Chains A and B, each alone.
Chain A
Amino acid sequence: MSRWEYFVKRLLLTVPVLFLVLSFLFVMLRMGPIDPVAAILGPQATGGDAQAIRERLGLDEPLWQQYVDFITSFLTFDFGQSWVVQAGRPIIEIVVGAAPATLWLGFWAILLPLFIGIPLGFYAGLNPNSLGDYTASFGGILWQALPNFWLSVLALATLRQTRNGGGPFGFDWYAFGPDFLSRDISITGTPDFDWFSTMDLLFFPVPYVSDWTALAIDVKLILPPALILGSASMAAELRIGRTAMLETVNANFVETARAKGLTSRVIVWKHIFRNALIPLLPVITSEAFLLIGGSVIVEQIFNINGLGRIFFQSVTQGDLPMAGALLFIFTLIILFLNILQDFLYTIIDPRVGYDQ
């Protein structure tokens, strides 16, 4: 089996997973503890109103019919309407409205561990038991031990203190970069993406940045929550990166490379780096899963209207179709990350899919 056959096989395997998740959601929605009619109209609803709702939701149809309808509608992203959170509004509309903020947060929260955690880990692994190694490793453990929600509250309180130069050395987060006070913007909130435009180039809409100041504002809004959201992943990637590096440095093929007379730069970047990435890859993608869970709390604290916050509200308020739709979307994201991981594996490691 070649590498790419293996990849296609993994791709096909996601199909049954998707159906399993959908079936689980169906069972939860139709047979779960919450009666849809009661959730929409209140617990005492009876008579004609209730019957009308039942008919609108198709609850009188045979169960198999309901199942088929459910599956087809979810697969076509037709999630129906929200019950409680934004009652009556199509769920897909709500999701499309909230997704950019979460993606923006996730993007920065992934970037930080990737470009700070891994390089620090590799540095520590290449210089084991040095002062730099101890500092990085100790910092990593400390950083990982601090919970998201606690860090969020602490960070927010600290940033608010810096108003009008109240921070150490007169630091003022409000005035740092684009001034928030003069623009009358809160340091928490949802990015508005005003900087983003598309232009038609050869009949295709091409995205470009139309307003750099607006971009800076959006980056400044998202950096503190992203830093906190990415912190645990950053620490984990630092530690795994260090171990991976240490193991690879002592591999026999590294000695062979040295015996060839290669410079240490070539040895590190060509021979060690790529091999050290192999054990790191699943860590990176599984950390991305954690970001989804983490965004629920961080979005709530930093007042960002994103998917995480809506998920939190729909779960606490019993908005089952909303929660179901978001679960489905999270599943899609995770499946996509898994495929991405397999794809990267296939590129990095030629042994993938090789039958002994």
Chain B
Amino acid sequence: MSTDDRSSATPTGATDDGGGDESLVDVRNLQTTFFTDKETIRAIDGIDFTIDPGETVGIVGESGSGKSVTARSLMGLIESPGRVLRGSSIRYRDLDTVRSFADAFSGRTVSVADLESRYDPVRVFDQTAATPAEFGYADPADVPLVDVVAAGYGDEVGLTSGDECVFVLDGDAGDPSSIRRGFVELTRVSGEAQRKMRGGRISMVFQDPLTSLNPVYTVGNQIKESLSLHQGLTGKEATQEAADLLEAVGIPDARRRVNEYPHQFSGGMRQRAVIAMALACEPDVLICDEPTTALDVTIQAQILDLIAEIQETRDVAVMFITHDMGVIADVSDRVNVMYAGEIVESADVEPLFANPKHPYTEGLLNSIPGGQVGGRLATIDGSVPTPNEEPTYCRFAPRCPKAFEECEAVHPIPVPVDETADDHTAACLLYPEDESTEAAIARHRGRSHGGERE
């Protein structure tokens, strides 16, 4: 049974997410919106990307492009007035996690096969705002039920209660050890399950090490907090483990340092301590939200080396967020370029830097300082717009040097840049490169992300 495998069906658009079932984290049509009195800000507007086990995925873009909101959506840290909209799906596929969650939260575990026997997904499209297009299909009959349910539409038609967060694709939901395939749906975890996920499976390193540690508790205390929560370590054992962690992230004299307060640490040391804290529970995914932005350049290099070393020795996948193209080139395996809440280009790091396709990526690369001595640094004029209305045009068009008439009328979607490069996509009307402009525009016009709209 391969209901989860989108590439086996034939989607009209070619947004194959590349990761397929092997990816550890699979983000699909993620939409995070902030509802304020004045306006509705679509901070994340339907993005897709994957993180494979042990790989580093870079997310790059200017301030306000939605990078941090993406990270917080994965962590479940979006707070009112923000919300991850229905239609979004973030799947976490680590098998151990799925089994242990199915064990711990049996009431929130469902078997997809069981759901399929009870319901025909086509009916969902009659009864809800869901469209086949948002799942990447033209024909409603092709849409796997699991996609519909994971995105939250099952609740609307009474198929699911809203509480289910563990989906079993292959195996018996009642017998965790028999599960061979499945995922935890991060947009649906809550309460205890969410706390187990946060810090336990996915942990996060924040931007400003100076303020991300609590000033009134010792560094050791704050690391031990994680250890006792997720590993049940307390007392001497925990202190020992905390000191070991500090040592592992390169803090000298860790046994003494563990009893010191954050203000006794330098900025770089504090970031190391925050990383130690994030590693306390041996996470599978480490989200680094601009971990080096607040540090000076030499410390920045040390922290980057540390993250690379951790990744190698502990085999964690890293989602690295930064606005610095230079840093991205250094650390990433794969890069997603974000602009105004959308991923405008996605590719492996070498092709992206050697052969950037989207005009925005080109602009970012041209504005890396240090390329030429003397002369003016290239910039992209203007700033990122606030995405507060539905996109019916290319959000980058007002700043784009290559913009043409249709850019104002058609919203581009991520498409392969040419036939041969399946994992290099760009959301720009100029692509696919090997199609005529008219054909390309028609392709972009034909599809749009759907999802909850209000």
Contacts and interface: CB of A to CB of B under 8 A. Distances in A.
Interface of A: 251-253, 255-263, 266, 270-271, 274-275, 278, 348-351, 354
Given A260-B277, A261-B198, A350 B75 contact: no
23 contacts: A252-B211, A253-B211, A253-B214, A255-B206, A255-B212, A256-B204, A256-B212, A256-B213, A256-B214, A257-B214, A258-B198, A259-B75, A259-B77, A259-B198, A259-B204, A260-B199, A260-B277, A261-B226, A262-B199, A270-B217, A274-B216, A278-B216, A349-B216
Contacts of B204: 256, 259
Contact of B216 (A260, A266, A275): A275
A42 to B, nearest CB: 62
B254 interface: no
A258 B261 CA distance: 20
A351 B213 CA distance: 13
B216 A255 contact: no
Contacts of A258: 77, 198
Given A252-B211, A255-B206, A261 B216 contact: no
Interface residues on B, range: 20 to 34
B203 interface: yes
Contact of A261 (B206, B217, B218, B229): B229
Given A260-B226, A354-B264, 10 more contacts: A252-B206, A252-B212, A253-B212, A255-B77, A256-B206, A256-B212, A259-B206, A260-B199, A262-B229, A275-B214
B418 interface: no
Given A260-B229, A261-B199, A350 B214 contact: no
A256 B208 CA distance: 11
A263 B193 CA distance: 11
B422 interface: no
Interface in B190-249: 194-200, 203-204, 206, 208, 211-218, 225-226, 229-230
Nearest to B226: A260
Contacts, number: 75
B295 to A, nearest CB: 15
A14 to B, nearest CB: 26
Nearest to B214: A253
A270 B277 CA distance: 17
A324 to B, nearest CB: 42
A271 B195 contact: no
- Majority SS at the chain A contact face: helix
**Most A C-beta atoms less than 10 A away, residue of B199, B213, B216:** B216
A252 B204 CA distance: 12
B77 to A, nearest CB: 6
Nearest to B204: A259
Given A259-B77, A350-B263, A351-B263, A253 B195 contact: no
A77 B334 CA distance: 79
B274 interface: yes
B87 to A, nearest CB: 25
Contacts of A278: 216
Given A260-B226, A261-B200, A262-B195, A348 B212 contact: no
Contacts of B213: 253, 256
Contacts of A274: 216
Contacts of A253: 211-215
A349 B225 contact: no
Nearest to A250: B79
Given A253-B214, A262-B195, A275-B216, A354 B263 contact: yes
Interface in B48-104: 75, 77
A51 B112 CA distance: 108
B211 A260 contact: no
B197 to A, nearest CB: 7
